[in-house]
């Protein structure tokens, strides 16, 4: 039986969230050489209620400071939504808590605050987000967020400290809140302008004219944002120099950011090799591009000039030059603790696996499959990766069968990497029957090796249920119930 009442992907997410409470990953125990070792980090805090209380207090203080603001009534809902969204993310496992890497980053954060006591007045709080994009940001009410997508690229504690100092500078200067206020003021001015009044009287092309007005407004805000970034670099560097960390890490960090869009894993994915099995050979037609209509092609064209002009952060090389000009002492050597560097780097592979789990948990099935395949090139015998490929393909199959594929998988686009675009083309080219057969035969090739592993056994159960192999499905379910009587997927497989 295929589950229809509860989308299987959504069910997985719920099961995974509940089962990871209390799971701790110990620094130094994660070894990819042992190609079975990967334990997802902990996504629920033992102090969740205290964190939520802290966020609500910060909101109340932010609203109090708006008492005399002319646009108070317009700003309040934005502030409230900002905090409520953050609280929902805390409740729904968007952040990492209570594991050694969490403690390590909190220690870095505390060291920065101790070295710059004036920052404590803002009552900042650090969140480690499971978001895969290489970014860190300040929300404005006291919360600093750093994504695992950025952490997986950084090399040591000093680079992390520089990023956090930069975001704390945004908090100190109140840049996030100022941007909200400026946007509301500019928007009100726009609505009262003669240009807008003339636009309302237009009989034709009003939508296009309005879009041009809004685009000009966006350009103005991006220019303001660039000014904020330059100011945050300077003030953040001042904070950074007060700490124990290596000043040169500011430069090496910016050099990493300058190439942050480059993939860590191999640039290509050998789909023709991975999914070529003895009993179901790969077909070249599966990866051939289909002809697009003129409208789709036009929509897909990147506007390079616009994309460049909308960049928030200044060019990283220029930022480096400005830091050298303003802080010549960056050249001085300050050796960081070797142990802290070693410990942080030991977690880097963990983040590569964490982004796969995050993509899967948050329904980004194309990306969970993509990153699994890319990492498989490096670790071809890793059971978690092979199981995740099987689970992702099954969930894609289920979504396609229910005519909901567009909710989980984008169409190929010129804005994507060549490898990801090829993967998406491959998936969209497949018929339902081909999709389930590819998954089934992919998993069958390693069933003797991995059938006793919980994740892989689940993938085998799902692929066989899709193939309507009732006898095999029953056999694997019985094996699961025997090997994992209290397993995290017990309820799921009982519904098959």
Alpha-carbon gap, residue 371 to 362, rounded angstroms: 14
Per residue in 198-248, pLDDT (tens digit) is 655 566 665 665 566 555 545 444 544 677 888 999 999 999 999 999 999
Per residue in 333-356, pLDDT (tens digit) is 555 554 455 556 556 678 999 999
Give me the pLDDT at residue 14, please: 32
Given a contact cutoff of 8 angstroms between Cβ atoms, the answer to whether 289 and 429 are in contact is: no
Mean pLDDT, the chain, integer: 82
Give me the pLDDT at residue 469, please: 96
Give the rounded percent of residues in the chain with a pLDDT score beyond 70: 76
Give me the pLDDT at residue 201, please: 59
| Per-residue H/E/C for 395-451 | HHHHHHHCCCHHHCCCCCCCCCCHHHHHHHHHHHHCCHHHHHHHHHHHHHCCHHHHC
Give me the pLDDT at residue 333, please: 55
Of 359, 358, 453, 436, which is closest to residue 390 (Cα–Cα)?
Answer: 436
Give me the pLDDT at residue 187, please: 66
| Spans of the chain below 70 pLDDT | 1-36, 187, 189-225, 264-266, 291-314, 332-348
């Amino acid at each position: 039986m295929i589950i229809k009442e509860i989308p299987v992907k959504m069910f997985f997410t719920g099961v995974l969230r509940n089962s990871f409470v209390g799971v701790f990953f110990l620094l130094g125990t994660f070894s990819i050489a042992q190609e079975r070792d990967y334990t997802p980090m902990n996504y629920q805090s033992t102090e969740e209620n205290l964190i939520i209380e802290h966020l609500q207090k910060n909101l109340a203080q932010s609203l109090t400071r708006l008492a005399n603001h002319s646009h108070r009534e317009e700003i309040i809902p934005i502030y409230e939504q900002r905090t409520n969204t953050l609280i929902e993310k805390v409740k729904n496992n968007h952040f990492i808590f209570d594991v050694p890497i969490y403690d390590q980053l909190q220690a870095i954060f505390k060291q920065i605050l101790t070295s710059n006591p004036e920052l404590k007045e803002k009552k900042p709080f650090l969140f480690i987000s499971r978001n895969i994009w290489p970014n860190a940001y300040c929300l404005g009410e006291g919360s600093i967020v750093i994504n695992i997508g950025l952490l997986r690229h950084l090399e040591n504690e000093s680079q992390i400290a520089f990023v956090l100092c930069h975001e704390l500078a945004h908090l100190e200067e109140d840049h996030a809140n100022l941007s909200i206020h400026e946007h509301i003021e500019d928007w009100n001015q726009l609505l009262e302008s003669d240009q807008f009044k003339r636009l309302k009287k237009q009989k034709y092309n009003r939508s296009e004219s309005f879009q041009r007005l809004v685009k000009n407004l966006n350009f103005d805000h991006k220019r303001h944002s660039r000014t904020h970034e330059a100011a945050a670099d300077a003030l953040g560097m001042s904070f950074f120099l007060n700490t124990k960390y290596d000043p040169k890490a500011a430069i090496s960090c910016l050099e990493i950011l300058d190439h942050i869009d480059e993939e860590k894993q191999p640039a290509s994915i050998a789909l023709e090799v991975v999914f070529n099995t003895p009993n179901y050979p790969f077909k070249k037609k599966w990866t051939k591009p289909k002809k697009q209509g003129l409208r789709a092609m036009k929509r897909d064209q990147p506007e390079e000039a616009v994309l460049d002009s909308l960049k928030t952060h200044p060019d990283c090389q220029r930022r480096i030059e400005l830091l050298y000009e303003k802080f010549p002492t960056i050249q001085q050597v300050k050796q960081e603790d070797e142990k802290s560097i070693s410990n942080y780097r030991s977690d880097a592979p963990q983040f590569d696996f964490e982004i796969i789990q995050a993509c899967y948990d948050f329904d980004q099935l194309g990306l969970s499959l993509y990153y699994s395949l890319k990492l498989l090139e490096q670790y071809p015998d890793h059971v978690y990766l092979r199981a995740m490929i099987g689970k992702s393909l099954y969930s894609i199959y289920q979504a396609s069968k229910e005519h909901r594929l567009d909710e989980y998988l984008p169409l190929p686009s010129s804005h994507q990497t060549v490898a990801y675009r090829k993967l998406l083309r491959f998936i969209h080219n497949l018929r339902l029957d081909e999709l389930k057969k590819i998954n089934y035969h992919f998993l069958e090739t390693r069933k003797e090796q991995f059938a006793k592993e919980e994740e892989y056994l689940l993938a085998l159960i799902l692929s066989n249920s899709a193939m309507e192999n009732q006898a095999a499905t029953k056999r694997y379910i019985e094996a699961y119930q025997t090997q994992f009587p209290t397993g995290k997927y017990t309820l799921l497989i009982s519904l098959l």
